[in-house]
Amino acid sequence: MDLVEYQGKQYFARYGIAVSPGQVANTVAEAEAAASRLGYPVVVKAQVQVGGRGKAGGIKLADSSAEVKEHATAILGMNIKGHVVRRLWIEKATDIAKEYYASFTLDRSAKLHLAMVSARGGVDIEQVVEEDPDAIARLHVNPIDGVTLEAMRDLVERAGLDEQALDGAAELLVKLYRCYIEGDADLVEINPLVLTTDGEVRALDAKVTLDDDAAFRHPEWAEIENMSVLTERERLAKSKGLSYIPLEGTVGIIANGAGLAMSTVDMVSQVGGTAANFLDVGGNADEDGMASALEVINLDPSVKAILVNIFGGIVRCDEVARGIVSALDRVDITSQIVLRLDGTNVAEARKIISERASEKIISELTMLSAARRAVELAGAPKPQGGTEL
């Protein structure tokens, strides 16, 4: 799960990483109250799970209550790359001397952790990678060895941080590594990591992704109000126990089992289409699970066709078919559904579908033909390619 900035900073603070004092505000009045408690100047910051808030106008300095009011009014409700701002973080403003970048993440291909530090912070790091890859100093970290203060000192020096910032940045990176490992994060990123005019090194932004599989050993994660920042679709999927990941395409996908769901996503791209999501109904491919899955996909405005790919092993196909039929009664599904069902009780399932839901549902016998049909319906250029399965 991705944390928003203030949650990330609260996570950092537990590990002793310096952050600025601040307060959450859900309304303009709360923003003004928070600012007067913190003292001016403050920064009014949109809390959405997407970068580039500054450029989009979601980060504003305010010198007075009137300015806080003006900025909070403008930012609350603002749409930043598809994320509507519902919450603000009011933070005591920092006097910045320099902006840097620092992160730890997992380098899956190297099977090691990767630290990245750059003296070019505050800007989009992808852009730095493109324009000037040498501006980023990298260090692979073996999880068994961990990091030392010396290694971090060397890294920040290699990255070209200013002399004044070296000790503070190295110490902060040691803490950040602990936060990343003990905090079970997949990513901790600070952009910008700043050197203040007082010579202190501090995290001015926070991007933290927690490893959901470690939730069992972090009862405190329950407090992180993640639900409030999920989209309606993600919230619904989560509450129904569906494993749902939105993607950028137009073909909505429902499959049972992560493997089958991934193959379905692959097959859609293989025939020239794009998947709108990954959705694994898992062991919930029964009536209620199928209805919920269709409801979730139906909430996605970019979906132009739905591809349902179910293999009935433990779950019986007739139950799946009944689920689809009942979902059609329950919700007004806007897109056409292409259905590929196989496995236990498939004959009965086909009968149910042809009797009760024929015009909304197109049945196909193979994964490939189903993918082609769905891509065609989604309006992608002529589908081709693929291997018959």
Taking residue 103's Cβ as centre, other Cβ atoms within 10 Å add up to 21
Residue 371 binds ligand GDP (CB under 6 A): no
The interface mask with ligand GDP, positions 119-158, x = CB under 6 A, is ---x------------------------------------
- Please identify which residue in the block is written with the tokens 């639900």: 227
Q: State residue 327 phi and psi, 5-degree precision.
A: -65, -40
**Residue 52 binds: one of Mn ion, ligand GDP, none (C-beta under 5 to 8 A by kind):** ligand GDP
Residue 205 binds Mn ion (CB under 5 A): yes
Among 8, 22, 51, 289, binds ligand GDP (CB under 6 A): 51
Q: Hey, CA dihedral for 350, 351, 352, 353, is it positive or negative?
A: positive
* CB of 190 or CB of 261, closer to Mn ion: 190
CB of residue 205 vs ligand GDP: minimum separation in angstroms? Answer: 3
Residue 300 binds ligand GDP (CB under 6 A): no
Residue 383 binds ligand GDP (CB under 6 A): no
CA distance 265 to 246: 12
Alpha carbon separation from 97 to 160, 197, 275, 359 (Å, rounded):
15, 5, 45, 65
Among 75, 204, 374, 378, binds ligand GDP (CB under 6 A): 204
Could you tell me which stretch among 23-31, 92-100, 143-151, 313-321 binds ligand GDP (CB under 6 A)? 92-100
* CB of 59 or CB of 281, closer to ligand GDP: 59
Among 43, 185, 201, 293, binds ligand GDP (CB under 6 A): 43
Q: Kindly state the helix (H) or strand (E) to which residue 167 belongs, with its residue range.
A: helix 166-182
Could you tell me which stretch among 45-53, 179-187, 258-266, 343-351 binds ligand GDP (CB under 6 A)? 45-53
CA distance 180 to 15: 10
What are the residues whose beta carbons fall under 8 Å from the beta carbon of 282, sequence distance 6 or more?
241, 242, 243, 256, 257, 258, 289
CB of residue 324 vs Mn ion: minimum separation in angstroms? Answer: 44
* CB of 204 or CB of 374, closer to ligand GDP: 204
Tokens of 21: 């004092």
CA distance 367 to 190: 43
Pick the catalytic residue from 6, 100, 101, 180: 101
**Residue 59 binds: one of Mn ion, ligand GDP, none (C-beta under 5 to 8 A by kind):** ligand GDP
What are the residues whose beta carbons fall under 8 Å from the beta carbon of 380, sequence distance 6 or more?
250, 272, 273, 274
Residue 54 binds ligand GDP (CB under 6 A): yes
Residue 94 binds ligand GDP (CB under 6 A): yes
CA distance 103 to 298: 37
CB of residue 68 vs ligand GDP: minimum separation in angstroms? Answer: 14
* CB of 115 or CB of 296, closer to Mn ion: 115
Whether 300 and 268 have beta carbons less than 8 Å apart is answered as no
CB of residue 190 vs ligand GDP: minimum separation in angstroms? Answer: 9
Query: What would the DSSP string read from start to end of 345-384?
Result: THHHHHHHHHHH-TTTEEE-SSHHHHHHHHHHHTT-S---
Residue 205 binds ligand GDP (CB under 6 A): yes
β-pair type (207-210, 185-196): antiparallel
Pick the catalytic residue from 189, 295, 319, 364: 189
Active site residue 189: yes
Could you tell me which stretch among 27-35, 51-59, 167-175, 349-357 binds ligand GDP (CB under 6 A)? 51-59
Whether 255 and 285 have beta carbons less than 8 Å apart is answered as no
CB of residue 185 vs Mn ion: minimum separation in angstroms? Answer: 17
Which residues belong to the active site? Answer: 101, 189
Interface residues with ligand GDP (CB under 6 A) are 43, 51-54, 59, 93-94, 96, 99, 122, 191-192, 204-205
Residues that bind Mn ion (CB under 5 A): 191, 205
